[in-house]
Amino acid sequence: MSKLPVTVGQILKGKNGIYEIIEALKTNTVFKAAILGSTSEEIHPGAQQLAVIKTETDESMNYVFNRERNNYELPHMASCKTIRALRDVIGFDSQTPLEPQCMVFEWMDQDLRTVPYSRFRSKPGLPRVIARSVLETLAFLKETYGAFHSGIIPQPYLHRQDEDERSLLNFIDINPNNILLSNVDSTCPVVKVGDLGNMLREGYDDTRIQSLPTRAPEVWRGLGCFHSSDVWSLGTTVIFSLPTKPHYGLWNLTTTKLTYWLAQRLVFGAGDKIIDGNTEAWCIAKIIRLVGPISPPVNEAFLDEFSLARALEKEEYEDPETGEMKQFITVGTVRQELERIGGVPQDLIEFIEYLLVIDHTKRPTAREALGHPYLADVVA
């Protein structure tokens, strides 16, 4: 028997409160809700308190939805203050078989993807707060559960996207879509991590996971995904959040667009790809140029991909219009690219380089990274 869908205007009753759906944030699955009543806190007259309600209508994604609920029920999970809190559940009672199954989360004002350029310019310390909060979360998951955050893109969804779109839009690891912020304009912005449906045990190697721009070298090699892979993802995500400005004539973005899109295209990922197909090889070639050589893959299925990546990083092509010889991969090292942005503090560049170590066994853990001088005196 099918569950009823969630719709705007609907009233839902959970164990801890009553909620009215007021806006769809993501079609059919994520909604903004007003808290009409709560058993755990007083709702002051005239003050609208908000929550986020998540449900799932795609059967192929139910396992992620249920895994997130189960992960939130793990012992000690509620003690981590840098993970978005689960405040209620709805519809998991067998007495109400038609009621939609929902999770009710604390409201956060926005995700990192939607933070405008002006905020980073006016608050240059924001990347510090973001980095510390995320590292606190990663350290907690590692030390408490032996787990990492990066998730899986179901294959049916992959087939509905072209490869360039996948490389830019499908973020399910530590990345700008699941880093959540509130009170960005205050002196004490709040940063938390969401999407615990993406939490898995270390060493997962059934398929290569993480989004393409943030995928760690060991994942590209087919070795598996680890806690250290999330540390790499954080390093690339901090680059995405830098207060950059449009240059090179590549973009038609305004300063109100999130700057990580600009940085992403200029640094990691396939946004600057000039060949047909071979998105994965292009991303690997970018890592080789930006950070350094990657050991051969442990999975033979990826040998051709790595061979092409090495060729792309070294070779040139003849421009058909000018006859000029040009490089396929035009970025420099991470340091060169960050210095080219302009205005990026040296201690931040050093911190990013500290996180982006090719060998995952030599990459710092989240706990070790929390001791880096760049994060001194920053409270998550």
CATH class, domain 110-375, is: mainly alpha
The structure tokens 């067998």 sit at 94
* 11-106: CATH topology: Phosphorylase Kinase; domain 1 (3.30.200)
Q: What is the domain partition of the chain in residue ranges?
A: 11-106, 110-375
CB 170, CB 152: distance < 8 Å: no
CB 50, CB 107: distance < 8 Å: yes
DSSP calls for 338-363: HHHHS---HHHHHHHHHH--SSTTTS
| pTM exceeds 0.85 for this model | no
Q: Over its length of 380 residues, how does the chain's per-residue pLDDT go in tens digits?
A: 456 789 999 999 998 999 999 999 988 899 999 999 987 666 665 556 999 999 987 877 788 888 899 999 999 999 999 999 999 999 877 666 667 889 999 999 998 888 876 676 677 788 899 999 999 999 999 999 988 876 433 332 233 333 333 333 333 456 677 889 999 888 899 999 998 887 878 887 888 888 888 999 999 999 999 999 999 999 998 886 665 543 332 222 222 223 343 354 458 889 899 999 999 999 999 999 999 999 999 999 999 999 999 999 999 999 999 999 999 999 999 999 999 877 788 999 999 999 999 999 999 999 999 999 999 987 65
